[in-house]
Amino acid sequence: MKRHGFRPSALFTALVLLALAAVFLLDAAGTLDLPPRVAVPMTSAGLGLAALGALIARSARSRRAGPPSEPSDSPAGDDRVRR
């Protein structure tokens, strides 16, 4: 199995979407009374928070990677180190 890096933005997005799903399920079950005029802004705010978390994580990841390397004039594939 291929290993993959930890992406906190994906975890944060999943938690936001699960919270929204729980609220909508409680509304459908009759436990919570969620007016329709509140549902759309709440969903937009949740997705906006998830997007903000993804941008912050991406920004932090790009800072740790350092400045981008300058492209070389060699053809693609020839700039790898060979041993």
Residues 31-67: tens digit of each pLDDT: 888 887 888 888 888 888 888 888 887 888 777 666 6
pLDDT at 78 over 60: no
28 vs 79, which has greater pLDDT?
28
In a domain, 51, yes or no: yes
Angle formed at CA 20 by CA 19 and CA 25, multiple of 5 degrees: 95
In a domain, 13, yes or no: yes
In a domain, 79, yes or no: no
State the Cα–Cα distance between residues 74 and 69, nearest whole angstrom: 14
46, two tokens:
């949740």
| Residue 82 banded pLDDT, cuts 50, 70, 90 | low
The domain of 23 spans 8-65
Number of domains forming the structure of the chain: 1
Q: Which backbone phi and psi does 50 adopt, to 5 degrees? A: -65, -40
In a domain, 32, yes or no: yes
Spatial CB neighbours of 42, under 8 Å, sequence gap ≥ 6:
20, 23, 34
**Averaged pLDDT score across all residues of the chain:** 77
Radius of gyration of the chain (CA): 21
pLDDT winner (highest mean) among 6-10, 15-19, 23-27: 23-27
In a domain, 57, yes or no: yes
